[in-house]
Amino acid sequence: MSPQLGQSRSLRALSLLAMLALAALVPLLAAAQATPGPDDEALAASIVEKADRVRFPGEGFEVNVTITTTTPSGAAEPRNTRFCLRGTTTLS
């Protein structure tokens, strides 16, 4: 066996070993980064609380909507609709 052939095999073996080591470390690194800390949990809770206040407001509100349909002749037909929503005092 020539010295170059031996070095080539050693280099391939070393490359394969390095790739296997890296493949074994990737899931460990991903798990370490994916573990939420106390700050992350507080931030997530804050985001959900703010979203809930928008989705379930404490006070009632009213929305007036006008939909205008235009016919091929150019005549406009407006339709007005009012939505009255009462607020929620508790979330369950």
Closest by CA to 60, choosing from 81, 89, 82, is 89
More confidently predicted of 37 and 83: 83
**42 vs 27: CA distance, rounded Å:** 26
The predicted model scores a pTM of: 0.35
* pLDDT tens digits along 1-50: 555 656 677 888 888 888 888 888 888 777 666 666 778 888 999 999 99
Q: Give me the pLDDT at residue 34, please.
A: 63
* pLDDT tens digits along 38-74: 788 889 999 999 998 888 778 888 899 999 999 999 8
Amino acid at 66: T
Q: Give me the pLDDT at residue 77, please.
A: 93
